[in-house]
Amino acid sequence: MERTWVHAAAVGVTTALVGFTSSVAVLIAGLTAAGADADQASSGLLVLCVSVGLGTMVLSWRMRTPITLAWSTPGAALLATQASLGWAAAVGAFLVTGFLIAAIGLWPWLGRLVASIPAPLAQAMLAGVLVPLCLRPVTELAADPWPVAVVIVIWLALQRLALRWATPTAFAAALAVIAVQAGAGARGALVPPTLDLTAPEITGAAVVGIALPLTVVTMASQNVPGIAVLASAGFRVPWRATMLVTGAGTALGAAGGGHAVNLAAITAALPASPDAARDPERRWIAAFAAGCSYLVLAGAGATLVALSHAGTTDALAVVAGLALLPTLASSLAGAFAAAEDRIPAAATFMLAASGATLAGIGSAFWALVGGLAIRTLLGSRTRSEHAGPGVGAEHPDPLSPSRS
């Protein structure tokens, strides 16, 4: 019994380390692009670690299910590619996002509305959002070849040798590059975490340009795949409770800079697998340990943000671009899989990748609007045997009113 707890806890710690180090570079880039200064970005990382940690602990303990939460990495990528509307407006959009996620849990028809967005268009929007970030390794390599090449070579080597640790190790290499470049200044980057609260400003442009696309991306790229991962391991996610917890965590953390809390997707497989415990009823222990680990990692946020500004090479942006390459590849594959939707998907992709702003609203929203309009104009019809399901159609059961 004791060995089961120890082994499960070790898997939980690994889950948190992989999840944190694989996506923190994207998060810092996203919050900074949204208008956060160093203190506000470190506060956002602190709030998200605490929200993810506590939410994971509550859900896994209460439901005795290996439910693992995370922050929205695609959502952070969305922030990194949109024109900044000001930090207060971004915080207001985070608050609205939290309410929308909670509302999807309370009212299934909202979930079905999100699910009605054609999957190729949702995937094309996400792919377009990711392109500028995924180009950063190329642009940084041209600007500063040797330090960036080291990070890229390490990431490529571990893609073959130890896939799970490719991004975390590249992240460690990037920190080493920054420390070498900063020299003695890197020691001054060791700072304690601080909470920096910002009064939210609710604006129409931020709600339409940030909150709505952020909700769609979070549901499509995190919550639905997270349910699929747990279902494949034989676990049923309590949809309403999970959406309420993640929605509340997002709303409560918004003033501190937290953009979106959701189900973990890729890393969710670790606590749910037999590696955590042979007995499925004991695997919740691994998720609970992952939540505890996030609370410990919360203390590293301010230091990481300070280090990201200390070097002469934007090595963390390189890691962010590398980390998002698999997501970009799968999004492109999903966007262009259905022949009848390729033109609308291509238009959606180009609009999202353009980064153009119209009427103060970012390109992600206009990408969906344009893609849907072109799809309607061309008379495309969703055919389940060709086009595949919508954003949430893979798991219609979670959106059922009978779901508790």
pLDDT digits 0-9 by tens, 61-109: 999 999 999 999 999 999 988 778 899 999 999 999 999 999 999 987 8
Question: For position 386, what pLDDT does the model report?
Answer: 44
What residues does 70 pair with on adjacent strands? 262
The residue among 124 and 355 whose pLDDT is bigger is 124
Q: How confident is the model at residue 188 (pLDDT cuts 50, 70, 90)?
A: low
The mean pLDDT of 375-396, rounded to a whole number, is: 53
pLDDT digits 0-9 by tens, 98-139: 999 999 999 878 777 777 888 899 889 888 888 988 998 999
The mean pLDDT of 180-191, rounded to a whole number, is: 64
Q: How confident is the model at residue 194 (pLDDT cuts 50, 70, 90)?
A: confident
For residues 274 and 286, the answer to whether their CB atoms sit within 8 Å is no
Could you list the residue range(s) of the whole structural domain that residue 21 is in? 2-385
pLDDT digits 0-9 by tens, 222-278: 898 888 889 888 899 899 999 999 999 999 999 999 999 999 987 888 899 888 888
Domain-located, residue 391: no
Question: For position 392, what pLDDT does the model report?
Answer: 42
Domain-located, residue 398: no
Q: What burial class does residue 337 get, using C-beta atoms within 10 Å of its C-beta: 0-12 exposed, 13-18 middle, 19+ buried?
A: middle
Domain-located, residue 338: yes
Question: For position 8, what pLDDT does the model report?
Answer: 86
pLDDT digits 0-9 by tens, 224-235: 888 888 988 889
pLDDT at 3 over 70: no
Q: How confident is the model at residue 189 (pLDDT cuts 50, 70, 90)?
A: low
Phi, psi of 377 (to 5 degrees): -60, -40
Q: How confident is the model at residue 394 (pLDDT cuts 50, 70, 90)?
A: very low
Domain-located, residue 206: yes
DSSP letters for 173-229: HHHHHHHHHHGGGGGGG--------------HHHIIIIIHHHHHHHIIIIIHHHHHH
Question: For position 133, what pLDDT does the model report?
Answer: 85
Q: How confident is the model at residue 284 (pLDDT cuts 50, 70, 90)?
A: very high
**Number of folded domains that form the chain:** 1
The mean pLDDT of 174-184, rounded to a whole number, is: 78
For residues 30 and 306, the answer to whether their CB atoms sit within 8 Å is no
Question: Is residue 41 classed as helix, strand or coil in its secondary structure?
Answer: helix
Domain-located, residue 99: yes
Domain-located, residue 400: no
Domain-located, residue 16: yes
Could you give the dihedral angle defined by the CA atoms of residues 136, 140, 142 and 148, in that order, rounded to the nearest 10 degrees? -120
Q: Which of 2-11, 137-146, 304-313 has the highest mean pLDDT?
A: 137-146
Domain-located, residue 402: no
CA atoms within 13 A on the CB side of 299: 6
